[in-house]
Amino acid sequence: MERLSLDLQFFSGEKTEKATPKKRQDSRKKGQVAKSQDVNTAIVLLVGFSLLSFLGGYLKDIVTEIFRVSFEEFMLMPLTEANLHIIFLQMVEKAAYFMAPIMGAVLLGGVIANYIQVGFMFSPEAIQFKLSKLDPIQGFKRIFALRAIVELLKSILKISLVGLVVFWVIWGRMDEILILSQKSIGAALATIADITVKVGLYASVVLLVLALFDYFYQKYDFEKNIRMSKQDIKDEHKNIEGDPLIKSRIKQRQREMAMQRMMQEVPHADVVITNPTHFAVAIKYDEEKMDAPYVVAKGVDFIAQKIKLIAKENDVITVENRPLARALYDQTDIGQVIPEEFFKAMAELLAFVYKTKGKI
């Protein structure tokens, strides 16, 4: 029964196997990774409110300076084009001093959150425009899918817990809130700012804890979605190995190219040794390349006949020596120096060739 169950799983294509490294790599290229957006939100909020708690005095001084300059200097300046230009530049500068630390911290937090989850990833395919994304039927399916229901429940849980934390912080500071009207404007603003930062920090910590659980859920869901069936693994292996017909064509093309390169070396050979019909071995001696004669081409039957034909067309001397031709064909490869036991016989042949060509 167990064997039958496995066979049924195989033929039904049930995705029961873990994804292969290639499947994971392909998914990553498409931008499909285990990632929780809640982690990004929580870290960005935590970094932002932490910065506000540390730089509160600095930011307060900038805001105070903006109000001071506006009421003491800008309101007394005549309304001219030059003055408007000066006011605009100064306000932009002060706004930049105010916003730069916050924006920088938020940007850094977002980068860190993404890098922790998925590392460095650039996926142009994930941002490509696809008409299928505008399909209303697919949109309704996504809305009413199980994943959408899970996301809805997560959102309700996050809102509830964050609401409880906010209520808890504010309730604990209720005495200070009730006497805000009795404080100076500066003191009241300082109290409100302190409460706001505290609420943000506590809420960020709660969101971060929830985000960790969400990340593990997203990782589980991602692993489930990229599972493969046994047939998928078999097809992937076949694609990696390559179709047998295509592989045979590639090998045939490689053999043809190697044959072409080999035939191009025959005209440069010093001698072609034959047996005389079945084997042909082209030998060259170039003391600048190698210390001994080496094989530039070899072949049997049809290839041997072609080597002899090219040698004849290029005035390369052909010498019949049946045992030497067969031995060189069996014991040497193209580009390889001939074995030492053939040096004497080869020296006699080369001497004959050089003498015939008038080189010696």
Query: Helix/strand/coil (H, E, C) string of the chain?
Result: CHHHHHHHHHHHCCCCECCCHHHHHHHHHCCCCCCCHHHHHHHHHHHHHHHHHHCHHHHHHHHHHHHHHHHHCHHHCCCCHHHHHHHHHHHHHHHHHHHHHHHHHHHHHHHHHHHHHHCCCCCHHHHCCCHHHHCHHHHHHHHCCHHHHHHHHHHHHHHHHHHHHHHHHHHHCHHHHHCHHHCCHHHHHHHHHHHHHHHHHHHHHHHHHHHHHHHHHHHHHHHHHCCECHHHHHHHHHHHHCCHHHHHHHHHHHHHHHHHHHHHHHHHCCEEEECCCCEEEEEECCCCCCCCCEEEEEEECHHHHHHHHHHHHCCCEEEECHHHHHHHHHHCCCCCECCHHHHHHHHHHHHHHHHHHCCC
Say if residue 194 is in the same domain as residue 284. no
| CATH number assigned to the domain comprising residue 283 | 3.40.1690.10
**pLDDT at res. 242:** 60
Q: What is the pLDDT along the chain (360 residues), one digit of tens a residue?
A: 444 444 444 444 577 778 777 777 777 777 777 778 888 888 888 888 888 888 878 888 888 888 888 888 888 888 888 888 888 998 898 888 888 888 888 888 888 888 888 777 766 655 565 655 555 665 555 555 666 777 788 888 888 888 898 889 889 888 888 888 888 877 888 888 888 888 888 888 888 888 888 888 888 888 888 888 777 777 777 776 666 666 777 778 877 787 777 777 778 777 888 876 778 888 887 777 777 888 888 888 888 888 888 888 887 878 888 888 788 878 888 878 888 787 877 787 778 777 777 654
Only one residue has tokens 């190697």, namely 258
CB 39 within 8 A of CB 116: yes
Residue 246 lies in a domain: no
Residue 275 lies in a domain: yes
Say if residue 277 is in the same domain as residue 187. no
Question: How many structural domains comprise the chain?
Answer: 2
Say if residue 271 is in the same domain as residue 204. no
- Cβ-in-10-Å burial (0-12, 13-18, 19+) of 334 comes to middle
Say if residue 266 is in the same domain as residue 223. no
First to last CA, the chain: 86
Say if residue 191 is in the same domain as residue 281. no
Residue at a domain's end among 200, 227, 254: 227
Only one residue has tokens 């072949």, namely 299
CA distance 107 to 47: 10
Residue at a domain's end among 204, 227, 250: 227
Residue 134 lies in a domain: no
Residue 349 lies in a domain: yes
127: amino acid identity, one letter: I
**pLDDT at res. 10:** 43
Say if residue 185 is in the same domain as residue 105. yes
The strand order across the sheet containing 294-300 reads 294-300, 279-284, 271-274, 317-320
CA distance 4 to 25: 33
Say if residue 182 is in the same domain as residue 101. yes
Which residues are bridge partners to 299 per DSSP?
280
**pLDDT at res. 241:** 61
Residue 254 lies in a domain: no
CA distance 360 to 349: 13
Residue at a domain's end among 174, 209, 227: 227
What angle is formed at CA 287 by the lines to CA 345 and CA 299, rounded to 5 degrees? Answer: 55
CA distance 73 to 92: 16
The pair of structure tokens assigned to 200 is: 């943000």
CA distance 207 to 43: 9
**pLDDT at res. 1:** 44
Residue 195 lies in a domain: yes
CB 272 within 8 A of CB 353: no
Residue 213 lies in a domain: yes
**pLDDT at res. 12:** 46
Range of the domain at 281: 262-357
Residue 9 lies in a domain: no
Say if residue 177 is in the same domain as residue 105. yes
Say if residue 294 is in the same domain as residue 184. no
Give the global pTM. 0.53
